[in-house]
Amino acid sequence: MNNRFGSQDSITNRLFWSGHANPGSVWTFVGAYLLLVLSLYRRNRPLLVGTLLFVAVNPLVFPSPETDDAWATRVVLGEQVWLERGLRPSSHLRFTLVCVPVFLFTLRSAAKRYPLRTGLGAIASVVLMLLFFDRMARLYEATLPE
């Protein structure tokens, strides 16, 4: 495995990347986004606080994956590659900038309790999130030796 977090050389790796690269962490983050939308829509403060606390501790809960075989692990490793390259203007950055308004639209729709807009925004957000994940997995795979 090309283990980008195996050396545990930095506090960022130990506290964030290694646990977040676990597929369980990735998929529960997706679920946490949907819980965030729901908590805003319902104006449910305990759910909102619980969701935000979960997001804060999520990478600490999951162990580092043993391999990079899982697609979700490759997504996180791709994000790491992208960030290490400095977020220079790229198709990844442009894609992200297109996604942000959709996420904000969804959160605003939930806060204003617009059910149709919230539902459509949540669906669009998850689709865009999965498309972004695919881009990051491919970016990581492009860095692997043949």
The three state secondary structure string of 72-116 is HHHHHHHHHHHHHCCCCCCHHHHHHHHHHHHHHHHHHHHHCCCHH
Task: Give the mean pLDDT of 58-65.
Answer: 92
Q: Is residue 14 scored above 80 in pLDDT? A: no
DSSP letters for 18-64 = HHHTSHHHHHHHHHHHHHHHHHHHHT-HHHHHHHHHHHHHHHHHSPP
Is-contact 39 118, C-beta < 8 A? no
Residue 9: band (very low, low, confident or very high) from pLDDT cuts 50, 70, 90: low
pLDDT of residue 119: 98
Q: Is residue 7 scored above 50 in pLDDT? A: no
Q: Is residue 5 scored above 90 in pLDDT? A: no
Please name the residue that has the structure tokens 């992208």: 82
